[in-house]
Amino acid sequence: MPVFHELDLPGAWTLDMEPIRDDRGWFARYFCAREGNEHGLAMPFVQFNHSFTRMAGTIRGMHLQVGEDAEAKLVKCVHGRVCDVLLDLRRGSSGFMRHVAIELSADNGRAVYIPLGVAHGFQTLEDDTQLIYHHSNFYAPGAERGVRHDDPRAAIAWPRPATEISEKDRAWPLLDADFDGYESP
């Protein structure tokens, strides 16, 4: 059974595995819908993605979907190590424009739950890093939004200089001073 730890953003959690070990290795559950429902996680997950990033220092994100296509995510590192960042963009949230950063790695086995209206991104801390993502909604290009990794309003202090960033992620506009968030469904 995973152990839930609430993060400093409303509705955001880390899930730590409690492996059962024997001579063969270990077995652990890192997610259960029953326990997720008890903690208010959006269900069910309808899409699963897997990313591979070659180079340490690469930044992917900050991404989210809005409106009726808003999605929650459960993200886990299965190879390598990342600095994972959540940025609260929910209008009226007590966590609005705050972010949290946590380390996800194959070694620590931690997963992170990102609620609706919270942007997500990460920086790889090792070469050849892989993450798996569980999404509560389907990918909808028209609902996709993003925040640049270096947006002064977000003020994210990445642990390393960026080595690679996609053109798409470089092109997100800076948040206006009057940006007051996205309405959460």
Where in the sequence numbering do the catalytic residues fall?
63, 133
Provide CB contacts within 8 A for 94, sequence distance 6+: 10
**Extended strands (E) in the chain:** 3-6, 13-16, 20-22, 25-27, 47-53, 59-65, 73-79, 81-88, 99-105, 111-114, 118-124, 129-135, 144-146
Provide CB contacts within 8 A for 35, sequence distance 6+: 1, 2, 4
Residues 134, 73 contacting (CB under 8 angstroms): yes
